[in-house]
């Protein structure tokens, strides 16, 4: 196995696109190294992207925030302003693993590992985040909801990798929240995850919303019907009921020892509603 750590995007793309066998990007390694040790993957080339400045930076851009794909959860938590603007994204990234794992794990790795249960992905999708990719044909932007096609299947072409995520500018009175259900208190895979981002007007009516659900389908879902159910409302009981129903209707989960189909569908509605209520509360005071 060959290990390379280029310090430019072009260098990484050249290595990834020119590799004869399987090539893998290395960010924190908290999925990749575990999978290599378990012989799930056996790459001929590993390209560590952490020396590339753009993958490690957090910068303001056109009123929004650009977060490098190799920025760790622990670094995001320490950022002086991000938590105020995107508390849901930051809390989702910080649910990943233990303190030790958070010192390594990245949102790029969380997305590109291709798990429908990845914690930061519903929060990014709810936020309207766009992934910026670099590849042999240059750069392109892809909404995060379009990056993952199914378990372990990504829309990335050969030689492409995620450089960063762009979180859009925030209108006043906007906020977000992420909740997950796990059988234990921590260090477990989401049985259901729900991310909600919304904006309210001065009177407290929701003017825009995005709702995303994880672990209830082969890919993380953007549930437009759930967002439509609450836009124009003040999240009264009726709107909450419509949100729950729309969230449940979008689910097509698996049945396993950690949660039955019925349980996952039920919990998806509950978490979507609770995440929306938290986001609303935060937005009113933002
Ligand atoms: C003890 C433990 C607990 C965990 N708990 C959780 C949890 O609670 N919630 C959760 O969601 N996950 C959890 N995980 C899984 C893992 O920590 C996360 O998925 C993490 O975000 C992966 O990030 P990473 O930087 O370590 O990725 P890596 O392991 O470096 O990479 C993961 C995959 O993505 C690819 N990749 C990485 N970065 C890029 C990029 N920029 N562009 C293209 N491809 C890329 C790699 O080639 C690899 O296939 C846990 C893992 C462990 C070991």
Q: What is the pLDDT of residue 258?
A: 86
pLDDT over 90 (residue 187): no
For the CA of 55, the nearest atom of ligand 1: 41
Q: How far is the CA of 44 from the centre of ligand 1 (A)?
A: 19
* Ligand 1 center–CA 208 separation, angstroms: 31
Ligand 1 mean position, distance from CA 92 (Å): 13
Q: Residue whose CA is closest, atom 21 of ligand 1?
A: 110
Q: What is the pLDDT of residue 189?
A: 87
Q: What is the mean pLDDT of residues 10-29?
A: 96
Share of the chain above pLDDT 90, in %: 94
Q: Residue 184: what pLDDT?
A: 81
Q: Specify the pLDDT at position 74.
A: 97
What pLDDT is recorded for position 236? 98
pLDDT band at 2 (very low <50, low <70, confident <90, very high): very high
- The reported pLDDT for the residue numbered 206 is 98
Provide the terminal-to-terminal Cα distance of the chain, rounded to the nearest Å.
50
- For the chain, what is the mean pLDDT? 96
| Whether the predicted pLDDT of 44 surpasses 90 | yes
Percent over 70 (pLDDT), the chain: 100
Per-residue pLDDT, 269: 98
Give the mutation target among 109, 123, 154, 181 for probing the ligand 1 site: most ligand atoms within 8 A of CB: 109
pLDDT tens for each residue of 83-116 = 999 999 999 999 999 999 999 999 999 999 999 9
| Cα 28 to ligand 1 centre (Å) | 7
246 pLDDT tier (thresholds 50, 70, 90): very high
Global pTM? 0.98
| Banded model confidence at residue 10, pLDDT cuts 50, 70, 90 | very high
**How much is the average pLDDT of 191-219?**
97
């Amino acid at each position: 196995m060959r290990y390379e750590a280029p310090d430019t995007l072009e260098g990484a793309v050249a290595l990834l696109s020119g590799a004869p066998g399987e090539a893998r990007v290395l960010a924190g390694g908290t999925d990749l190294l575990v999978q290599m040790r378990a012989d799930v993957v056996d790459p001929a080339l590993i390209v560590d992207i952490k020396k590339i400045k753009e993958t490690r930076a957090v910068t303001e851009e056109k009123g929004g925030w650009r977060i490098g794909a190799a920025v760790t959860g622990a670094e995001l938590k320490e950022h002086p302003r991000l938590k105020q603007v995107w508390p849901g994204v930051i809390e989702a990234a910080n649910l990943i693993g233990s303190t030790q794992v958070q010192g390594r794990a990245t949102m790029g790795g969380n997305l590109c590992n291709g798990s429908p249960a990845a914690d930061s992905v519903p929060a990014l999708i709810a936020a309207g985040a766009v992934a910026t990719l670099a590849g042999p044909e240059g750069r392109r932007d892809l909404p995060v909801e379009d990056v993952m096609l199914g378990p372990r299947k990504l829309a990335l072409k050969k030689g492409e990798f995620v450089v960063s995520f762009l979180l859009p500018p925030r209108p006043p009175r906007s906020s977000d929240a992420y909740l997950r259900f796990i059988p234990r208190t921590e260090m477990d895979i989401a049985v259901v995850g729900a991310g909600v981002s919304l904006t309210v007007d001065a009177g407290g009516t929701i003017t825009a919303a995005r709702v995303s659900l994880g672990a209830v389908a082969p890919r993380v879902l953007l549930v437009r019907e759930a967002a439509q159910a609450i836009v124009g409302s003040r999240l009264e009981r009726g709107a909450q009921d419509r949100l729950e129903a729309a969230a449940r209707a979008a689910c097509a989960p698996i049945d396993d020892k950690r949660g039955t189909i019925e349980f996952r569908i039920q919990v998806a509605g509950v978490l979507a509603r609770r995440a929306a209520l938290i986001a609303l509360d935060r937005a009113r005071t933002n």
